Amino acid sequence: MTKTTMYLPSVFASGPNGGNPAPIWLDADGLTPALMLATTKEQGYESGFVLKPKDPANHLRLRFFVPEHEMSMCGHATIGALWVLRALGRLPVTEVLRIETPSGLVHARVPADGGPIAISQPWGCRDVLAPDHKADLAEVLNVAPGQIGEAANARTSRVKTVIRLESEKLLQALKPRWDTVSQLCEKLETTGLYPFAWGQDPWLVHARQFPRNSGYPEDAATGIAAAALACALALAGELPRSHGVLRVRQGEAMGRPSEIEVEVDAAAGTCWIRGICTLEPEVTA
């Protein structure tokens, strides 16, 4: 294997043992896709690989893998990679960074003072699912159909099925039929199920993500899903479209408390995912 260095940030951490671990491999230009997939399988988490940009006008390029395949975009791995590079002093001093990803160009705001990092996503869309899908969702989530509210396919860079539940208590108690999640995701043409419930504080939701065929059953924090949910709520009139900020608590049922902030700006045609990390020591391979 080409020599490269791996760091392990836990992204969107909000408490002890919190956040979503994201192995970040630096100087990964010499790694083949097969080696990237193999190292991701070994780690067991969605991983980010930092490469030189193809266009010299941009600052870096990222590729993302889950244990089963390559991904087009990963919010927490992008923030994790930037957090590592900032800690090492390897980012240029500029107001906005330009990052090449398989899903397209992503912009980033990286404060020099060590504050939360924000990355861009395009403005989203929302397609409400037909009522007859409630029975399918209820069966997979292992709840009664009457406990499910409106469900919609929402998208920024990737499609997520956002599913309103009647209470946070119901959300945290979910015990899905894990062997049926991928099949339903395929039927709904989505990359994951994202049930959520409103919290007690204004503009706070609690959520869980059950991904489609990623190699693990649940994510502790999912920036792209949070962005899709924020845009869907803004489009439904439940979040201000002009600089509305949604706080998404995730990972609580897994014992990995996480919090993601999403700022939507419909007029600018974008939204910003924002969060912090904790960082483990480096590993060289």
What is the rounded average pLDDT of the residues 86-110? 95
The predicted pLDDT at position 283 comes to 55
What is the rounded average pLDDT of the residues 278-285? 67
- Using alpha carbons only, what angle is made at residue 137 by residues 70 and 253, rounded to the nearest 5 degrees? 70
Q: At which residue do the structure tokens 């904790």 appear?
A: 278
Euclidean distance between CA atoms 221 and 219, whole angstroms: 6
Residues of the chain with CATH 3.10.310.10: 5-122+275-284, 125-267
Bridge pairing between strands 24-26 and 47-51: parallel
For residue 169, what are the contacts with CB-CB under 8 A and spacing of at least 6?
none
- Using alpha carbons only, what angle is made at residue 93 by residues 90 and 95, rounded to the nearest 5 degrees? 130
pLDDT band for 280, please (50, 70, 90 cuts). confident
- Per-residue pLDDT tens over the stretch 139-184: 999 999 999 999 999 999 999 999 999 999 999 999 999 999 999 9
Q: Which CATH architecture has domain 5-122+275-284?
A: Roll (3.10)
**H-type alpha helices, the chain:** 33-43, 75-87, 133-141, 168-172, 181-188, 223-235
pLDDT band for 86, please (50, 70, 90 cuts). very high
Q: What is the DSSP string of 146-180?
A: GGEEEEEEEESSSEEEEEEES-HHHHHT----GGG
Q: What is the DSSP string of 110-147?
A: --TTS--EEEEEE--EEEEPPTTHHHHHHHHHTS-GGG
pLDDT at 284 over 70: no
Q: Under a CB-based contact definition with an 8 Å cutoff, are residues 202 and 233 in contact?
A: no
For residue 266, what are the contacts with CB-CB under 8 A and spacing of at least 6?
123, 234, 241, 242
**One-letter amino acid identity for 62?**
L
The rounded mean pLDDT for the chain is 94
DSSP code for 33: H
pLDDT at 1 over 50: no
The predicted pLDDT at position 93 comes to 86
CATH of domain 125-267: 3.10.310.10
Q: Under a CB-based contact definition with an 8 Å cutoff, are residues 81 and 50 in contact?
A: yes
pLDDT at 248 over 90: yes
Please report, for residues 67, 156, 218, 225, 251, the alpha-carbon distance to residue 210 in angstroms, rounded to integers and kept in the order given. 15, 18, 5, 10, 11
Euclidean distance between CA atoms 182 and 48, whole angstroms: 23
Euclidean distance between CA atoms 192 and 213, whole angstroms: 9
